[in-house]
Amino acid sequence: MSQLESLGHVIEADILIIGGGIAGLWAACKAREYVNNVVIVEKGPADWGGLASRAGGDLDAVIPEEKIEDWLSDIVYYFDGLCDQEIVKVILENSYARLADYEYLGHKFLRGPDGNLKGILQRGLDHVKCFLYRPYGAGGSNMVRVMQEKANQISVKRFGRIYITDILKTGSTITGAIGFNVRNGDFYIFKANTIILATGSSCLDIALKAGVELKNFEFGHVRNDPKSFLWEGQTNLLPLGAYFVNAKGERFMDKYSPILRNNTDFHYNVIGMAIETRAGNNPFYLDCSEMKPADIELMKPEAGWLKLSYDRLLASGINFFQGKTEWQPRVGGNYGGVIVDTKGRTKVPGLFAAGTTWATNAGVYMGGWNLCKTAVTGYIVGESGGEYAASAKNAQINPYQVETLKRKIYSPLKQNGILPSRVGMAIRDLIQPIEVSILKNKNSLTVALDKMGFIKEKLLPQMTAKDTHHLMNLMDVNWTALSTEFNLTASLMREETRGGHTREDFPKRDNRNWMKWIIFSSDGENHVNVRSERIPLEKYDVKPKRYYMDNFRFT
């Protein structure tokens, strides 16, 4: 038995993909054309498919009769100029080919009697469209199914219930990754000289520790959801005439944006809700009763969990499309992601990223964009990672490094201390207030950052896990803490309002000082650096002249 095998299960891979969501599946299927031994490792069940398994399955794509430049111009405008145009352009250029791949694999999009795809314009933009999957309601799970079938046909290996904690390097060379089984606690060592990170927005600390740079943390995730049942599809309901009203029955967004009204991103509708709440005009309701009958038919769930939800509502006497249902804002997570080039390469040779790990969004989102992005970037990275792996040398893992890390990973087990869930709650409480996450200001961000400092210093080191399932939770809370700290730090730095970042004390856009990214990097486990970097507008096609944020007047 080798020194490594004495430490845990050793799995060899030509390419290791961390994360078995839809981006990981795309990357795996493409990479398999270049190398034989493609391995996906997933902390959930091997075949759950990540968030896509719950998604609508709708997709943005630039169809052949449309122009990439038009879509790019829309997105630069929508992101208020804060757009990596090279990255977005490459996503758009490849979008239709991936839609066609999906159809070929058995994931069908809605077409009219003329055979043309039927799309819904997003957020009041002129060109960006989301194409709908049929039957409505089971789209995401169908996407996952077709990609898993493909992965099975070409013998992509999939390991579930293994939580990856660290990426291994010798010098600057990637040698593999380690993690533990969240059920039985077994330790795993994956040997691979090419790794594709497809963990969505979670666990990016493992990339940071490996030397990858991150950005876009100032942009928090906010959305609206029904208060007492599950629904998805707001992204298409609002363009089709559904509207939010406040407790007085007023269409409050009309006064904040007479042009777009509430046909916009969650972020703007939530700002409207925050201001209305301060005036005592909450709660809020979504009213679909003025949608045209044909559009109601279009959006009526036909399958999946959405149909179950719809039927349950009907059984309790509520017709979703005929009355008002109560909705509320929700805050959680952020748009922080990994900095990559157009091939999905990070700064670390051999370490690639796919899917929603790519930092593309300035805090606003177009319906259908993520499933477009996951398919396109998964494919691109499968190709670039596959080429890299085909010519890379054998990985040589240092057993002493693994032994040291292993001891550290399991150290929070079975000690007295604080439960991770309690610390997670403390972080959620800190980020929830309107003035920390929605209408930010210097004072509230500084106070929140101080509280975060306390959590980091006093609570995180005392967290304990009674088993390896809780150990996974503990590690997730560590990432939540770090990404929240990044969110607060970057929010404080960006002294302006732009995209999904709103500062009440700096309500204007400041192009002179803030046409910049805020970037986090690490030169060791505990040393995080933050810097800003000018956006290279001179090399981009679109010079920002119009700004989506100008459609709104919240003061």
Ligand X SMILES: Cc1cc2nc3c(=O)[nH]c(=O)nc-3n(C[C@H](O)[C@H](O)[C@H](O)COP(=O)(O)OP(=O)(O)OC[C@H]3O[C@@H](n4cnc5c(N)ncnc54)[C@H](O)[C@@H]3O)c2cc1C
Q: Which residues bind ligand X (CB under 6 A)?
A: 18-24, 41-44, 50-52, 54-58, 140, 163-164, 198-200, 202-203, 232, 355-356, 368-371, 374
Q: How far is the CB of 444 from ligand X (least distance, A)?
A: 29
Q: How far is the CB of 430 from ligand X (least distance, A)?
A: 23
In the numeric block, which tokens belong to residue 356?
């929603």
Q: How far is the CB of 392 from ligand X (least distance, A)?
A: 22
Using the minimum distance from each CB to ligand X, give the nearer residue, 369 or 540: 369
Q: SS3 of 60, please? A: strand
Using the minimum distance from each CB to ligand X, give the nearer residue, 95 or 370: 370
What is the CB-side half-sphere exposure of residue 479 using CA atoms within 13 A? 23
Using the minimum distance from each CB to ligand X, give the nearer residue, 24 or 386: 24
b/e code 412-424 from CB counts within 10 Å (16+ = b)? bbeeebbbbeebb
Using the minimum distance from each CB to ligand X, give the nearer residue, 371 or 535: 371
What is the CB-side half-sphere exposure of residue 64 using CA atoms within 13 A? 3
In the numeric block, which tokens belong to residue 189?
């060592």
Using the minimum distance from each CB to ligand X, give the nearer residue, 95 or 277: 95
Query: Which DSSP state fits 4?
Result: T
Using the minimum distance from each CB to ligand X, give the nearer residue, 330 or 466: 330
Is residue 306 within a helix (H) or strand (E), and if so which, with residue range? helix 304-315
Q: How far is the CB of 454 from ligand X (least distance, A)?
A: 26
Using the minimum distance from each CB to ligand X, give the nearer residue, 354 or 492: 354
Task: Concatenate the DSSP letters of all residues of 314-361 into one string.
Answer: HHTT--TTTSEEEEEEEEEEE--EE---TT-B-SSTTEEE-GGGB---
Burial class (CB in 10 A: 0-12, 13-18, 19+), 40: buried
Q: How far is the CB of 292 from ligand X (least distance, A)?
A: 21
Q: How far is the CB of 238 from ligand X (least distance, A)?
A: 14
Q: How far is the CB of 261 from ligand X (least distance, A)?
A: 23
Sign for the CA dihedral angle at 203, 204, 205, 211 comes to positive
Asked if 133 and 371 count as a contact pair (C-beta separation under 8 A), the reply is no
Q: How far is the CB of 339 from ligand X (least distance, A)?
A: 16
Q: Round to whole Å and give the CA distance between 479 and 482.
A: 5
Q: Round to whole Å and give the CA distance between 177 and 11.
A: 10
In the numeric block, which tokens belong to residue 111?
């077409």
Q: Which of 140, 207, 246, 477 is nearest to 353 (CA)?
A: 207
Q: Round to whole Å and give the CA distance between 384 and 194.
A: 10
Q: How far is the CB of 175 from ligand X (least distance, A)?
A: 17
Q: How far is the CB of 306 from ligand X (least distance, A)?
A: 9
Using the minimum distance from each CB to ligand X, give the nearer residue, 50 or 124: 50
Using the minimum distance from each CB to ligand X, give the nearer residue, 73 or 165: 165
Q: SS3 of 8, please? A: coil
